[in-house]
Amino acid sequence: MARVSDAKQRLMDAANDLMWESSYASTSVDAICERAGVKKGSFYHFFESKSDLSVAALEADWQMKKPDLDAIFSPTVPPIERFERYFKRALNKQTALQDKTGNVLGCPLFTLGAEVSTLDQAIRAKVEEILGEHVKYLTSAVRDAQAGDLIRPGNAGEKARTIFTCYQGTMMLARIQNDLEPLRRLTDQVFDMLGVGSGAINA
């Protein structure tokens, strides 16, 4: 695989960070270039627009995170533990961000998607694509948990989407309240919803 230019990677990293910390609208090309330490002319060498950069940055960030999710949702990991690891990963990330920035930032995909989904179809489509990949991971865990009689039967895809909606709603609430407590309660709430017994959790 060809190596991504260091300047291009810094621009994508800066865009992701700035839009997550504040908003898409308030993040200018100048601010991205300043954070990245890249001249504006170089920006337009790599990207036609801020929208073009945003789509590329989302994809690059997803490719970086995917191996971690592959490990969390590996079939070798017990299905109930996969949920626990997924939610713990989010809590740990948000805790680190709060320590660094003073704020709970929530999910960058939902933050960006909610802001620009009616204004920029390229960004909306990329956000929707990546969110769909998260649901696929959750669906596999639901199916395996059902196969082991660890959670209630039913449509695995619908259950996974419900879990993801609960997860993302909790992330957004944590951002709004600037409080990690909703995320600390998330695992117990999802397990209660799924009908996970203590035996399954401790297995």
Q: Do 56 and 18 belong together in one domain?
A: yes
Together in a domain, 45 and 131: no
Whether residue 100 has pLDDT greater than 70: yes
Query: Same structural domain for residues 54 and 90?
Result: no
Tokens for 106? 């929530």
What's the predicted TM-score (pTM) here? Answer: 0.90
Residue 119 reports pLDDT greater than 60? yes
Q: What CATH number does the domain containing 128 carry?
A: 1.10.357.10
Could you tell me the CA-to-CA distances from 122 to 61, 125, 132, 184 in Å, in that order? 16, 5, 15, 34
**pLDDT confidence of 1, banded at 50, 70, 90?**
very low
156, 81: one domain: yes
DSSP letter for 24, please. T
Between 203 and 84, where is the model more confident?
84
Please identify, among 34, 61, 88, the residue that sits at the C-terminal boundary of a domain.
Answer: 61
pLDDT tens for 129-169 read 999 999 999 999 999 999 999 999 999 999 999 999 999 99
pLDDT at 196: 87
136: containing domain: 73-196
Span 162-177, average pLDDT: 96
Place of tokens 């839009």: 19
CATH at residue 14: 1.10.10.60
